[in-house]
A = this chain, B = another copy of it.
Amino acid sequence: MAAALCCGLLDYKTEKFALTRNRRVGLLHRLLQLAVLGYLLGWVLVVRRGYQDTDAAPHVSVITKMKGVSVTRSKDASSRLWDAVDYASPPQGENVLFLVTNFIATAKQAQGTCPESPSVLDGMCTEDVDCPVGNPVVHGNGIKTGKCVMFNATHSTCEIYGWCPVENNTLPRKPLLAEAENFTLFIKNTVNFTKFNFSKGNTLQTNDPTYFKSCTYDPFFNPSCPVFRIGDVVEAAGETFGDLALLGGSISIRIEWNCDLDQPTARCQPQYSFILVDRRYNFRTASYYWDSQRRPYRSLMKLYGIRFDISVHGQATVVCDLVLLYLDTKADFYWKEKFEEAKPPKGKTEAAADPQWADQDIRNAQ
């Protein structure tokens, strides 16, 4: 039995073939093989780019800057000018930035006791027992002192210990910085595909120093000017500036890089898209100061405005040389094609037609 096995193990089997010297059939046979070869070259290489390598995780840097001035008039008709330092934050110009379009100012807050705002549900009261001493007002501005006091002729609210007076939450009916529509946002974006050691920016390479001071982005006429008019951005996001400016909002600015590095790099250009994320956006900030008696004060601002989130994605592709191919997940495509080409013309000694071989070729190829 063992002998049989060993013999069986070392037997070699080959198929018997019938050979037909029929040019027509033979021609057809070769044409079929050409079709396969064509398929591989055409489909695999040209359409599916099986020979390319990809880097989909670029290192990204975004720098932003706003420009423009606007005048606001407060109730007492006193006017105030706002420049970028006043309305843009944070000042560094990062990939998330904010433009003030409306605000509620509470000028001179000091720590003390005062009636809670009637806009806070938990602050309403009819008698002192409604204001348990020491409890914070839920979603309110301070700690209850235990007294229920008159806020105004119509409302009475719990007295609180906190920053007094509390914010008066009546928002101007029209955005105070309506002119912000004409402000401009400069976005400088650089992507670096480390895998291919390839870097590119979104700013036009120009020698004209005044170019970026005069141009404005337009998807068709001026796609490589990185200066965006705020009004245009809001419209591109499907909103009207006036509506968004009143209560604020959040807009996502997306920059997509899809670069075929086999093409001239001038073809490697970013695509911008503008999406409205949210219809309301505001936050509070304060500047602190001390009077001559060293008493601490703060000037509270509730800022409504447009928040811009800039996010960058991209991928770059490049031709692989043979070395790359061995490490490239798409190597198999190349291999197949290679194998087809390398196939010797078939003759009587049809080694390559043996299924074993065929399998091996295919396995090599994966």
Chain A contact residues, CB within 8 Å of chain B: 5, 7-23, 25-30, 32-33, 36, 39-40, 44, 47-48, 56-57, 59-61, 63, 65, 67-71, 79-81, 83-86, 89-94, 96, 98, 107-108, 111, 136-137, 139-143, 161-163, 179, 188, 190, 192, 194, 199, 213, 250, 252, 254, 256, 273, 275, 277-278, 281, 283-290, 292, 294, 298-300, 307, 309, 311, 313, 326-327, 332-333, 336, 340, 345-348, 350, 353-356, 358-366
Residues of B within 8 A of A5 (CB): 345, 347
Q: Is there an interface contact between A311 and B67, defined as CB atoms closer than 8 Å?
A: no
A/B interface sample: 27 pairs, CB < 8 A: A7-B21, A8-B348, A11-B347, A13-B19, A14-B20, A15-B16, A33-B360, A36-B359, A57-B313, A59-B275, A59-B313, A63-B307, A69-B137, A69-B141, A71-B161, A83-B141, A83-B142, A83-B163, A84-B284, A85-B298, A89-B92, A190-B278, A194-B254, A194-B313, A287-B287, A333-B366, A362-B363
In the assembled complex, how far is the CB of residue A132 from the closest CB belonging to chain B, in whole angstroms?
15
Distance, CA A70 to CA B140, complexed state (A): 11
Q: Is there an interface contact between B12 and A22, defined as CB atoms closer than 8 Å?
A: yes
Q: Is there an interface contact between B366 and A44, defined as CB atoms closer than 8 Å?
A: yes
Distance, CA A350 to CA B108, complexed state (A): 94
Q: Is there an interface contact between B39 and A10, defined as CB atoms closer than 8 Å?
A: no
Distance, CA A60 to CA B252, complexed state (A): 9
Residues of B within 8 A of A36 (CB): 359-360, 363-364
In the assembled complex, how far is the CB of residue A67 from the closest CB belonging to chain B, in whole angstroms?
6
Partner of A26, one of B11, B92, B111, B278: B11
Q: Is there an interface contact between B39 and A363, defined as CB atoms closer than 8 Å?
A: yes
Given contacts A27-B10, A356-B33, contact A85 B285 (CB under 8 A): yes
Q: Which residue of the partner chain B has the closest CB to A314?
A: B57
Distance, CA A194 to CA B313, complexed state (A): 11
Given contacts A80-B111, A284-B85, contact A26 B10 (CB under 8 A): yes
Residues of B within 8 A of A68 (CB): 136
Distance, CA A27 to CA B7, complexed state (A): 11
Partner of A346, one of B13, B19, B252: B13
Q: Which residue, A16, A36, A47, has most C-beta atoms of chain B within 10 A?
A: A36
Given contacts A17-B13, A356-B353, contact A81 B163 (CB under 8 A): yes
Q: Is there an interface contact between A139 and B67, defined as CB atoms closer than 8 Å?
A: yes
Q: Is there an interface contact between B9 and A26, defined as CB atoms closer than 8 Å?
A: yes
Given contacts A19-B11, A61-B250, contact A326 B366 (CB under 8 A): no
